[in-house]
Amino acid sequence: MTRSRTTSAARRLMLVHAHPDDETLITGGTIAAACDAGIEVLVVTCTLGEEGEIIGDELAGLAAQHADQLGGYRYWELQRALSALEAPESRGRVRGVFLGGAGRWRDSGMAGTDGSRNPRAFINAPLVDTASALAALIQDFQPHVVTTYDPNGTYGHPDHIRVHEVTHRAVELAAASARGWDVPRLYWSVIGHQAFQENAARLSGVPADWVREPGGGLGLFPDEQITTRIDVRDQRDRKAAALQCHATQIMVDLPNRAFALSNWVAQPIMDEEHFVLVRTTGHPVPDGQAAHGLFAGPGPT
């Protein structure tokens, strides 16, 4: 990947995710909002999501225990989702890459599964290998903002926890390198508990065969630790369209602005997305940073 010199003054946002669909589920509105604000966006995905459960019968044979073709299919789901997040007038501002190239490291599945024991699994790769690969991307793209997961990996998936570890190590490696890049702002992307509960009010109207679990949701984060809230109401339609692109993983109920994963548990498409600022440096951020909350504001508390 080579970055054009003509874009060197632009603001740049890098989001590091574990599997295709995480970028939209957790940060889709932020990607779209950043795109609208003229920010260059690079989504780094660490695996192809080969171990995911598949919704519906038509594509069930792609699963890891059958044809093992899900990863290649989800590659294209991700490309379509990233395109859906862009506004028509800003085509090309959002790009996606896979860490180490597509298929370099494999989805590890949940703890204790066969997938977690695969020698190619992301969690089984030496941390220095995966972190060095990400550090190289950081040095090349020179992001002003990087996002990763909290130490619990949002909801405890081993690959998400590893993404947290890899990103923190990569940011250190990139800063220490002779030709390095000291990332000005590093965030954890999280889902705040209170906002989730408020958004969950619309779930009463979801399809009858979806499961409603009051208080449920992917790893809800303590509200008092959130430093940055991105209002994504204007981008919600594009986020919903991007969620629909991940059809092997996600069902979408547009009227109720809700979705469900393969466990059929109803969840709201959030009005805002949440971040925790965990690292700042004195490295300058280009002018105009107030146009997007991740680039502005005070340092960590």
CB of 157 to Zn ion, least distance (A): 5
CB of 22 to Zn ion, least distance (A): 4
x-marked contacts with Zn ion along 229-268 as a string, rule CB under 5 A:
----------------------------------------
Positions in 51-70 near Zn ion (CB under 5 A): none
CB of 35 to Zn ion, least distance (A): 22
Q: At what angle do helices 70-85 and 236-245 cross, to 10 degrees?
A: 160
Query: For residues 18 and 39, which CB has a smaller minimum distance to Zn ion in the complex?
Result: 18
| Residue of this chain nearest to Zn ion (CB atom) | 19
Query: For residues 19 and 168, which CB has a smaller minimum distance to Zn ion in the complex?
Result: 19
**Residue type at 246?**
H
For 86, residues 6+ apart whose C-beta sits below 8 A from its C-beta are 32, 35, 92, 93, 94, 238
- Give how many residues touch Zn ion by CB under 5 A: 3
Query: For residues 153 and 293, which CB has a smaller minimum distance to Zn ion in the complex?
Result: 153
- For residue 272, with 0-12 CB atoms within 10 Å meaning exposed, 13-18 middle and 19 or more buried, which class applies? middle
First to last CA, the chain: 35
Three-class SS of residue 102? coil
Query: For residues 18 and 186, which CB has a smaller minimum distance to Zn ion in the complex?
Result: 18
Both tokens assigned to 237: 């339609």
DSSP classification of residue 59: T
Binding-site sequence positions = 19, 22, 160
Does residue number 279 form part of the binding site for Zn ion (CB under 5 A)? no
CB of 15 to Zn ion, least distance (A): 13
Count Cβ atoms below 10 Å from residue 155 Cβ, excluding itself: 14
Nearest to 241 by CA among 86, 44, 34, 57: 86
Binding-site sequence positions for Zn(2+) = 19, 22, 160
Instruction: Tell me the CA distances in angstroms from 284 to 75, 239, 281, one per residue in order.
Output: 35, 30, 8
Sign of torsion, CA 211 201 190 24? positive
x-marked contacts with Zn ion along 10-49 as a string, rule CB under 5 A:
--------xx--x---------------------------
Query: For residues 23 and 40, which CB has a smaller minimum distance to Zn ion in the complex?
Result: 23
CB of 199 to Zn ion, least distance (A): 20
Query: For residues 19 and 238, which CB has a smaller minimum distance to Zn ion in the complex?
Result: 19
Binding residues for Zn ion (CB under 5 A)? 18-19, 22
